[in-house]
Amino acid sequence: MAYRSHTGHLGSAFSCIDILVCLYWNFLHVNPLQPKNPGRDRFILSKGHACSALYAVLAERGFFSRDLLTQYLKDGSSLAGHPSLTLPGIEAATGSLGHGLGIGAGMALAASLDAKAHHTVVLLSDGECNEGSVWETALFAAQHHLCNLIAVIDCNGIQGFGRTEDVLGLEPFADKWRAFGWQVQECDGHNPTSILAALEQATQPSTAPRLILARTIKGKGVSFMENTVDWHYWTLNDEQYRAASAELHPAS
């Protein structure tokens, strides 16, 4: 999709794709044939610039045809550069960073008031946590004991203009969230066993909202993209596309 449309954000997509696969095949209670089922779990991709990963997962999961992926970023397409409500399986239009967690907290509060059992899961980036609205929502969620809210932070250590520690340091990251009243776990964001164990733990009885710090690598899976600031925005030329494809799909 990125190669055909000459767009970037591949590094951001590859850092969260393992998390998305675990969510959609092993955790979220969703039905592609009934995407608006009232009892469904809600998922919000707050880091909306990584939407190519979400689109691929939704297509593979059966929310819409894989053929639609060829329309990514074309004029008039429902596959925009950030998630759009025109697609089945999308719960919120996102991409203006710092808003997704607040939307998710609102959904979780509504579910709590209505005594509904479903979860709301929000995937953020670590750089997104530069936004004050994230921390305002963190206080709100703890105040209202939103134990049905799960935030997963894709901690790849890189944002648009540099390394997170250089732009606005977040560590001790886990301790900050605990101080705001959240139950916190960490996991390897590229290890399905580690991801699923953290998600399972996040469903155990508690009165606090849940946070999972998923430690990831920007551009995971393509050697020349990994842990590189440039691949937040860079686009693939023909040679890079062939090299990346060879790494991701080695000959048997």
pLDDT tens digits for range 184-243: 999 999 999 999 999 999 999 999 999 999 999 999 999 999 999 999 999 999 999 999
pLDDT in tens, 73-84: 999 999 999 999
Pairing of strands 183-188, 162-163: unpaired
Q: Which CATH architecture has domain 2-248?
A: 3-Layer(aba) Sandwich (3.40)
Contact yes or no for 174/184 (Cβ under 8 A): yes
Rounded Cα distance between 66 and 153, Å, is 27
pLDDT of residue 252: 52
Please report the pLDDT score of residue 33 as a whole number. Answer: 96
Q: Which residues of 209-246 are buried (b: 16+ CB within 10 A; e: fewer)?
A: bbbbbbbbbbbbbbeebbbbbebbebebeeebeeebee
Which residue shows structure tokens 């066993």? 193
Question: How far from 9 is each of 51, 202, 238, 244, CA to CA, in Å?
Answer: 9, 29, 17, 15
Domain ranges of the chain: 2-248
